[in-house]
Chain A
């Protein structure tokens, strides 16, 4: 019974390239959250998706960032034209219902922008 799987674990990109971060939720979980963690900071909410729908994207930068959670396959967080300030750890979390008591976090993707 696998937990939340994120890949890659580490991703290195040069400025201007695209970054695609993948998150496979726990089997049966239809609610996915993405959080970003900057060094020495707590996690900050980015987006909440529920199968094929974006429910809340209030934490997402207005430009260059997008997220999806298709009917089949993992959730994807996409960052276009990355800049150095995008360097951070990106965590995905999933839940079977809209309730943080049942939330499980993945191991994160560490994005480094050169």
Chain B
């Protein structure tokens, strides 16, 4: 059974600082997704990583995928308050219905 673990689960940081969220998964997959969720809202797709070594950047967020280590990272550069949200990684089960298996999420709070 595919398991996805994120850490940390809670992250409080100061504006302007850098930090990395980690996402480990337990079985072979080369498709990983990062989503953002604001309180009471739906999931917004941030990044789709489709191959080993994939790196994508959007603004202050950068995501990478290492399929050999079964690890993805979401790096935050010079955090701002607007980045406060919960971030989820999800892995494709591949084959069949291709349902997503989600991590528990990282609740990020950026303090002024």
Contacts and interface: CB of A to CB of B under 8 A. Distances in A.
Interface string A19-48: 000000000000001010000111111001
Given A106-B42, A110-B40, 12 more contacts: A4-B42, A33-B99, A33-B100, A42-B105, A43-B43, A59-B99, A91-B43, A100-B31, A104-B45, A105-B43, A107-B41, A107-B42
B42 A45 contact: no
Given A40-B104, A42-B88, A43-B102, A56 B31 contact: no
Contacts of A4: 42
A3 to B, nearest CB: 9
A55 B97 contact: yes
A1 interface: no
Contact of A105 (B42, B99, B101, B104): B42
A26 to B, nearest CB: 13
Interface string B79-112: 0000000001010100011111111110000000
